[in-house]
Amino acid sequence: MIFIVDAILIIAVVAADQLVKSWIVMNIGLGATHQVIPGILSLTNIRNDGAAWSILEGKTFFFYLITIVAVGVLGYFLYRTRGQWLYQISLSFMLAGALGNFIDRIRLKYVVDMFQLDFINFPIFNVADFALTIGVILLFIAILREDHLEG
């Protein structure tokens, strides 16, 4: 039963990521910015062939390799933690985020990013990046919770 919930979460996040990216590409010109909440959030259509802050820009093969390894490791841990709901959710978010950006890299050779925080110097990101971040935070909470229960 838990794997069905995981699969639904992963599919929903990947679908949301791809839908938002498609909408951005169709409605906001490349490099253009649309203010959503003045001084807080804008939508900016950019292409990123690197990681955050364009680190490792143009290293597409490296990202293919890293993502394949990450998906395998995350899938393994998703299987190993069955029945531990917080681990399952965190790993599902991370897996969905990795897959969302991987689809872009395979299909487009770059990742579409769009969310720009206007109040801080932070990389423009997408739904998949957000899912990865939520997954890491939840994993951290699961680990702390487990340590607290054991201690």
Q: What is the pLDDT along the chain (151 residues), one digit of tens a residue?
A: 568 899 999 999 999 999 999 999 999 999 999 999 999 999 999 999 877 666 777 778 888 999 999 999 999 999 999 889 999 999 999 999 999 999 999 999 999 999 999 999 999 999 999 999 999 999 999 999 876 666 5
DSSP class of 151: -
Whether 49 is catalytic = no
Q: Tell me which of 17, 49, 113, 118 is the catalytic residue.
A: 113
In tens, the pLDDT along 115-130 reads 999 999 999 999 999 9
Answer for the pair 130, 63: CB distance below 8 angstroms, yes or no.
Answer: no
Residue whose tokens read 């599919």:
11
What is the pLDDT at residue 58?
A: 72
What does the pLDDT read at residue 90? 97
Residue from 6, 17, 104, 129 carrying the catalytic annotation: 129
Known active-site residue 6: no
CA angle 82, 87, 91 (to 5 degrees): 95
Residue 32 in contact with residue 46, Cβ under 8 Å? no
Which two three-digit tokens encode residue 57?
């820009």
Q: For the whole model, what pTM was predicted?
A: 0.91
Torsions phi, psi of 59, nearest 5? -90, 55
d(CA 113, CA 129): 9
Residue of 50, 52, 99, 90 whose CA lies nearest to 71? 99
**How far, in Å, CA of 34 to CA of 143, rounded?**
39
